[in-house]
Structure 1
Amino acid sequence: MSTAALSPRATTAVLRAEARLFRREPATLFWVVLFPTLLLGILGAIPSFREANDDLDGLRTIDVYVPVVVLLALIMAGIQGMPAVVAGYREHGVLRRMSTTPIPPSALLGAQMGLHGAAALGSALFSLAAGRLVFDVALPRQAFGYGLALLLSVAAALALGTLATALARTTKAANAIGTSVTFPMMFCAGLWLPVQAMPDVLARIVELTPFGAASLALGQAAGGDWPGWSHLGVLTLWTVVLTAASVRWFRWE
């Protein structure tokens, strides 16, 4: 039987195996799926966050933070979760052994990207539902634009995570890179201060980062406007550049 004929079946087998392992990682499931919604609940418990804010064009702070916690799930999945797993496989020779079988190592990377991306999307839906049911946050009024911005945000997060995976040769290095990137990306997403409330100069700088652009695009779509093409363009550009860099530097061994 040819390698070409084996590849789809082998890829499916890898995906099933990785899904079983993924479900057995409670820490990953907590930080990706549950933590963003728990954080939303903590923020929503602050009385002032449930009141209209003139600095946010009359929106409540909790309204603005729903897109932020959606992005937090993407950061935890793409930058913190996936690189450590793949780097661990490289460190322990799993990828090297796979290269001697009909199963391409790329099947494992694709499975990891798919699983972490799906978990991030599930967390996003969970956060949107919690915001609506618990704090009466309106669902995105521009649903199609919100979905497009969310998918581009996921792609950018996974591309950034793949680059971290390419640069890290060990799990320890992956964790160090992930941590050093996570906190700046959280700031750009608006976790400590919503992008809409940042000083003009800082906001313009943050808009050029993937998660700053994502935060604004999701916020615009949530309010009923089509996401700014400049923000979608920034997300697309970052995805392309990060993916190209990952392909250039990624090594299976």
Structure 2
Amino acid sequence: MLLRLTRTELRLNLREPVPAFLSLLAPTILVVVLGSVPALREPSPDLGGRRVIDAYVGIAVALSLAMVALQVMPMVLATYRERGILRRFATTPVSPLVVLSAQVLAALATAVTATLLAVAVGRIGYGVPLPADPVAFVVAFLLCAAGVFAIGLLVAAVAPTGRAGNSIGTVLFFPLMFFAGLWTPRELLPGILARIGDFTALGAGERALHEASAGNWPNLLSVTVLVAHVAVFGLAAARLFRWR
């Protein structure tokens, strides 16, 4: 049942052209646009000899997670509530946990696809190194996904309509992506802003992804912050989630 619902959610999400396009291709487009600027393909002393394009592939991964977790998933679940779909699920053998799990798995599958595209284009098109420790990178990716998905589920829990879910998610999306380095790589942010970013889901997640790309395991602070996000926001989402 879980797999059937997940496949159904994926098909439904892909039928919406704009959200599907943004969720799947926006990270890759970011890599292509930045990689097309010659200056961003040159080593930067401010980044420890790395190129800006090297830093932005990790940021693109965080972007893929943020888009599906904060903009797509809350909108879909809140729309189901608005249209009475969630209420009708209560009369079927499908448990609420299965419905939520299917939505999370569909979002995760979309983010994984977007990540693979961005990493492949970065590597093939601009010579961005692949993660030095693939296992650590996968662990960092899943931790980041868990932290930001917990926030998305909380938004979905309280949003009365699909439009409200999308609006709340968008309001959260921009500051969280700022601390993840979307506009300025985190290494170039002032010290206080970089420190604040270490305690946000995407800032901690991007740092963990960056360290995994360099061949290291995620640092203890990033892991603690992401686990705390899962515990706090996940528990709040479970307690506040309304099916009607």
Q: TM-score range by the shorter chain?
A: over 0.9
- The equivalent of 2:124 in structure 1 is 133
| Aligned partner (choices 188, 194, 201) of residue 179 of structure 2 | 188
The answer as to 2:34 corresponding to 1:43 is yes
TM-score, structure 2 normalization: 0.96
What is the letter of the counterpart of residue 15 of structure 1? T
Cα deviation for residue 188 of structure 1 reads 1.2
Mapping for residues 86-97 of structure 1, pairs under 5 Å: 86-97=77-88
1:222-247 deviations in whole A, cap 9, x for unaligned? 11222212112211111111101111
Q: Which amino acid aligns with 1:40?
A: V
Q: Equivalences for 1:1-253 in 2 at 5 Å?
A: 10-253=1-244
Q: Cα offset for 1:108?
A: 2.1
The Cα shift of 1:217 comes to 1.1
> Kindly tell me: are residues 214 and 11 of structure 1, through their superposed partners in 2, closer, same or farther at Cα, counting changes over 3 Å?
closer
Aligned residues: 244
Superposed displacement of residue 14, structure 1: 2.7
CA offset at residue 122 of structure 1? 1.4
Alignment TM-score, normalising by the size of structure 1: 0.93
Q: 1:102 Cα shift? A: 1.7
* Cα-to-partner distance string for 1:153-201 (whole Å, 9 max, x where unaligned): 1111211110110110111211110111010111011000111111111
Moved more, 72-81 or 192-201: 192-201
Q: Runs of at least 4 residues of structure 1 off by over 3 A? A: 10-13
Letter in 1 for 2:112: L
Cα distance between partner residues in 2 of 1:100 and 1:41:
47
User: What letter corresponds to residue 123 of structure 1 in structure 2?
Assistant: A
Structure 1 Cα separation of the partners of residues 189 and 69 of structure 2: 25
Letter aligned with residue 224 of structure 2: G
Across the aligned residues of Structure 1 and Structure 2, the Cα RMSD in angstroms comes to 1.2
Q: Please say which structure displays the higher CA radius of gyration.
A: 1
Q: Hey, what's the Cα distance between the residues in 1 that align with 2:149 and 2:232?
A: 12
* Cα distance between partner residues in 2 of 1:41 and 1:101: 46
